[in-house]
Every structure is written in C-alpha cells, then in structure tokens.
Amino acid sequence: MSIAESGQWATFFLAKEQFAVPVEDVQEVLLSQPLTPVPLAPAQIVGLLNLRGAIMPAIDLRTRLKFEQVAPSEYQKLLVLKTNEGLVSIVVDEIGDVFELAGEGWRPVPDTLELGHRDAVFGIFPLDGQMLLGLKTHAVCADE
C-alpha cells in the first residue's frame, strides 16, 4: 500500500526544502499580492488575501513550520490551496515544477525529521538526488 496516490504534484520551495502538494489541491499561484493585516492574529497569519471577492487567510509557512525567518519580500509568492476549511493562501519562497509521481515512490517520514515538521509532512519522495516533502494541506490550517 502506498502513502499517497499516483498523479501530478505541484512543488514549491521553503527554506531550501522542496515540498509537494497534489495539483488538485492548488487553486492558483500568485505573485506580489497585497495582504490586509489582521491585528492580534496568530504569528503565522500574515494577513488576509482578497482574491476576486474570496477572502482567505495568508499563512507564513516559515512561521508555521518554525523555519528560520527572513525579511519579507515585495515579491512574495502565494500558493492558494483548497483545504477542508476552505481556501487558504500560503507564503512560499519559490514556486517549483509539476511532477508526475508514482504512489509507490513515497516513503514514510524519517525519524530524523524534526517533530514540528513531521506533523505537517505525510511522506518523502526521492527525486533527482533530493527529497520532496509531501505537505499535508489540512495541517497548514491546524492549530498548533
């Protein structure tokens, strides 16, 4: 039994790590969108995104996954994901490619992955000398 299904996977980079989500979970990719600040919001919520009338939270995935912080860029990239809670946008460093991945290629999360990251990653996929980390889209919105 495989950890994930075969199919197309969209990738993105965050803190030199490459993550993957099923293409069907991606609504769209955006560059440099204005965000409305939300006073007293959790640190991972960097604002609200108004996407053609649909209001959604913008989550700083670096903060959510406890990666080293970097100065905000005016050229931020946003990935709009479909989750059980509705649309959510995540701030990522770079947008990657789309890959066709076989379900049997996914491996369990190794014990060496930090505990905070293991909660958000369902598995790893070796690809061209690097590892794709499979992101649990529902974990992006989960309370810590």
Stretch 25-41: mean pLDDT: 91
Predicted local distance difference test score (pLDDT) of residue 70? 78
Predicted local distance difference test score (pLDDT) of residue 2? 63
Q: Which CATH number fits domain 7-141: 3.40.140.10, 3.30.420.10, 2.40.50.180, 3.20.20.100?
A: 2.40.50.180
- 93-97: which pairs have CB atoms within 8 A and are 24 or more residues apart? 93/12, 93/13, 93/14, 93/15, 94/12, 94/13, 95/11, 95/12, 95/13, 95/29, 96/10, 96/11, 96/12, 96/13, 96/18, 97/11
Per-residue pLDDT tens over the stretch 65-107: 888 887 766 668 999 999 888 999 999 999 999 999 999 999 9
Q: Where are the domains of the chain?
A: 7-141
